[in-house]
Structure 1
Amino acid sequence: MGIQAELTATIEKLVQPGKGILAADESHPTIAKRFKAIGVESSEDNRREYRSLILSAPGLGEFISGVILFEETLRQSSLDLTPFPDLLESQGIVPGIKVDKGKKPLINAPGEEITYGLDGLDDRLEIYRSQGARFAKWRDVFYITDTLPSRQAIEANAEMLARYAALCQSIGMVPIVEPEVLMDGEHSIGRCAEVSEAVLKEVFQALYRHRVELESMILKPNMVTPGKGSPKATPEQVAEATLAVFRRTVPAAVPGINFLSGGQAPDEATRNLNALNNLGPQPWALSFSYGRALQEPAQHAWAGSLENRAATQQAILKRARLNGAARSGSYSPEMEE
């Protein structure tokens, strides 16, 4: 199969109706925080056990089209010694991989950060591909204040995203492009809309410069919401503000927009996705690529004990099923019961 055919086949699997992407790519510091909240040590054995439980949940592939893995997980095997990529493929789920190396301060831009990891990425992508990964993810973040993000931060991070995406496509791996405008702060929904629009415009200009094929990528953005320190908006307000920005900035050639949850509670992320899909057909499939909003209930159900296998798997399946319903606007809060 040629590179273009591979990209097309992967995209078709990732944007299937009723399905979304599970982000299970937490770095060691991030998953340590998650495990600390449930009183569990973040050892390699515990990480492997937990991820084995959720990824082997029977029927997960009915609602999940792809899973973003951390580098450690990609080369591990489940509790029954099945390599994780093979386990996912047996459920009809496409294995993916987080490829950025985290954030560092952006020089001469106080309070802002740049994501790094381009050095040697071409060689790493070949290794990940040989291990079974068929798509990748790179995340950049943007802080909101009255003056941030600066043009410097927007342009620098957009350039990194575009260079990463071009590298992925050159070897037949679909890139997930994740520019996250953070919820941290007390900004209004209007300020989030203003910043999100500026960021997305710059990201797509960079993608055009680097000749990234829009039909063979997935966008993973934030929803347009008020900051965490401000009163919450209704799902309808979030949906209207988000779509107003995306209609101005995201070309129709992009096949799928898989939103990040960005600190939203599990049910809140589901309600907001449902409201987006209730506003009628859009040029792109509107879906989810949630991490904590899918996994938090499963982590609490597991609590570090293999005896809680059934409850853990039921918890991940429930959130996957509810977000699958939100994918078509057919979710209702009563389904939480």
Structure 2
Amino acid sequence: MEKNDKKWYNTKKLAKTNIYVKRRNHCMNTAQLERMKNGAGFIAALDQSGGSTPKALKAYGIQETEYHSEEEMFDLIHQMRSRILTSDAFTSEHILGAILFEKTMNSKVDGLYSADYLWEKKGIVPFLKVDKGLDEKKDEVQLMKPIPNLDKILEQARGRNIFGTKMRSVIHNANQKGIREIVDQQFDIGLKIVQKGFVPILEPEVNINSNSKKEAEEILIEEIMQHMKALDSSVKLIFKVSIPTVAGLYSDLMKDSKTVRVVALSGGYSRNEADELLRENPGLIASFSRALLSDLNAKQTQEEFDAALGKAIHEIYEASMAE
């Protein structure tokens, strides 16, 4: 490796970061870490943000004509999320964690802030989406937009008893330069989050419709493993990836002591498709959003709602626990 390779810079940078990480890990909730590392179940992604909220509400049976302001829209999505969180079907028997949107974190469910409700009432570990969306496509990827108020968000998250964070970027095709920049950005911001005492979910999604998905994933795992080698053992990370074209691609990453879990997004697959692909990858568990919520509707009775949610949860759990 040449000294002008960007990884030399990253390695030095990470070595300095590791010293500080050791001082911060005492902030981490060890019971939640143990559950995320060794528990049976999957992560529910309930983090639709402002841009995707109208689409999520429409899928739930609420049309844009039924609300007239952003405030009304967010009230409706919070009602949907509250209905999910309080459902008898939504339990720690099958669900390890749930990813929340910032407004959900700062809203209450049954008299408690959402993260407190999840952990105290359900035994489910709370995560927070912290990214601000995707930048324009360049070099066949979309990096994350800057997160200028990250420190403020993390301070709020600490006050709301959040365990970890999540941030998403997207790889569209197998471009070495673009993928390297994606991984560099995910790790750079992820380690800042680690320094604050949280466990970040790094999400470098590969577009499932990419003509070079297999090749992109091969580049991606190589870049990730290069970064992992430079990290101190005290660092704890979760990875959220597209279900790989080649089954077992992320097996070595799962074995790394710094990896808490590797989870999979559904990425546009139907629940049945995603579940089938998940079964081919032992150790890879789900972190589904659309595939989890696709059968829910605002007009369902509570009994119908619980039955539909319970069926989806059971199917995703079974696929996640396949050996």
Q: TM-score band, normalised by the shorter chain?
A: 0.7 to 0.9
Instruction: Name the CA distance, whole Å, in 1 between partners of 2:140 and 2:319.
Output: 36
Q: Evaluate the alpha carbon distance shift between residue 294 and residue 39 of structure 1 in structure 2; reply closer, same or farther with a 3 A threshold.
A: closer
Describe the SS at the equivalent of 1:15: helix
For 2:241, which of 221, 241, 249 is the aligned residue?
Answer: 221
2:195 to 163, 170, 180: 170
Residue 104 of structure 1 is matched in structure 2 by: 135
Please name the residue that 1:23 is paired with.
Answer: 45
- 248 and 160 in structure 1: CA distance in 2 versus 1, 3 angstrom threshold: same
124, 134, 154: which one pairs with 2:179?
A: 154
Determine the structure 2 residue equivalent to 1:281: none
Q: Which amino acid aligns with 1:10?
A: Q
SS in 2 for 1:127: helix
Q: Deviations over 1:198-227 (max 9, x none)?
A: 012213334555x365761111111124xx
Structure 2: distance between partners of 1:54 and 1:315: 11
Secondary structure of the 1:115 match is coil
Normalised by the length of structure 2, the TM-score is 0.81
- Letter aligned with residue 116 of structure 1: K
The alignment-based identity, stated in percent, is 26
8 Å CA contact 1:118, 1:164 repeated in 2: no
Residue 169 of structure 1 contacts residue 212 of structure 1 at CA under 8 Å; is this kept in 2?
Answer: no
Q: Deviations over 1:268-315 (max 9, x none)?
A: 2122222323xxxxxxx42111111111112xxx2x33x622322222
- How many residues are paired up? 289
Which residue of structure 2 aligns with residue 179 of structure 1?
Answer: 204
1:329 corresponds to: 322
Question: Equivalent residue for 2:313?
Answer: 320
Q: Give the alignment's TM-score, normalised by structure 1.
A: 0.78
Q: Separation in 2 of the partners of 1:255 and 1:296?
A: 28
Q: Which residue of 2 aligns with 1:229?
A: none
In structure 1, what is the Cα distance between the partners aligned to 2:96 and 2:51?
26
Matches within 5 A, 1:189-200: 191-200=212-221
Q: Does the Cα contact within 8 Å between 1:10 and 1:174 map onto a contact in 2?
A: no
Q: Give distance in 2, aligned partners of 1:67 and 1:219.
A: 15
Q: Does 1:126 align with 2:155?
A: yes
Counterpart residue number, 1:310: 303
Partner of 1:64 in structure 2?
Answer: 95
What is the deviation of 1:54? 0.6
Structure 1 consecutive aligned stretches of length 4 or more whose deviation exceeds 6 Å:
none
Stretch deviating more after TM superposition (57-66 or 258-267): 57-66
Specify every segment of 5 or more residues in structure 2 that has no aligned partner in the other structure, as ranges: 1-22, 65-72
Report the Cα distance in structure 2 between the residues aligned to 1:247 and 1:82, rounded to whole angstroms.
Answer: 38
Per-residue CA distance 1:151-181 (angstroms, 9 max, x = gap): 3311221111001211121121111111111
